[in-house]
Amino acid sequence: MEPLTLVIGNKNYSSWSLRAWLLLKHVGLSFEEVVIALDQPETRERIERYGPSGHVPVLHHGALRVWDSLAIYEYVAELTGKVWPQERGARALARSICAEMHSGFTTLRSLWPMNARARNRRTAVTTPLEADIERIDELWNDCRSRCGAAGPWLFGDYSAADAMYAPVVLRFNTYGARVSQTARWYMASVLEDGALQEWLQAAKHEPWTIAADEVG
Ligand SMILES: N[C@@H](CCC(=O)N[C@@H](CS)C(=O)NCC(=O)O)C(=O)O
Measured between alpha carbons, how far is 56 from 89 in angstroms, rounded to an integer? 31
Residue nearest to atom 15 of ligand 1 (CA): 55
Distance 191 CA to ligand 1 centre (A): 23
Ligand 1 binding pocket includes 148 (Cβ within 6 Å): no
Q: What is the DSSP letter of 9?
A: E
Ligand 1 binding pocket includes 109 (Cβ within 6 Å): no
CA proximity to 9, closest of 216, 211, 201, 203: 203
72 Cα nearest atom in ligand 1: 20
- pLDDT, tens digit, 9 for 90 and up, residues 3-51: 999 999 999 999 999 999 999 999 999 999 999 999 999 999 999 999 9
H/E element holding 6? Answer: strand 4-9
| Percentage of the chain exceeding pLDDT 70 | 100
Measured between alpha carbons, how far is 90 from 97 in angstroms, rounded to an integer? 11
15 Cα nearest atom in ligand 1: 10
pLDDT band at residue 68 using 50, 70 and 90 as cut-offs: very high
Specify which residues 185 forms β-bridges with: none
pLDDT of residue 181: 98
H/E element holding 5? Answer: strand 4-9
Distance 9 CA to ligand 1 centre (A): 8
pLDDT of residue 160: 98
β-pairing, 64-67 vs 32-36, is: unpaired
Quickly list DSSP for 94-154.
HHHHHHHHHH--HHHHHHS---TT--S------HHHHHHHHHHHHHHHHHHHHH-TTSSBT
68 Cα nearest atom in ligand 1: 20
Distance 55 CA to ligand 1 centre (A): 4
Distance 47 CA to ligand 1 centre (A): 10
Quickly list DSSP for 34-82.
EEE-TTSTTHHHHHHHH-SSS-S-EEEETTEEEESHHHHHHHHHHHHS-
Ligand 1 binding pocket includes 6 (Cβ within 6 Å): no
Ligand 1 binding pocket includes 115 (Cβ within 6 Å): no
| Percentage of the chain exceeding pLDDT 90 | 100
pLDDT of residue 77: 98
pTM metric for this prediction:
0.98
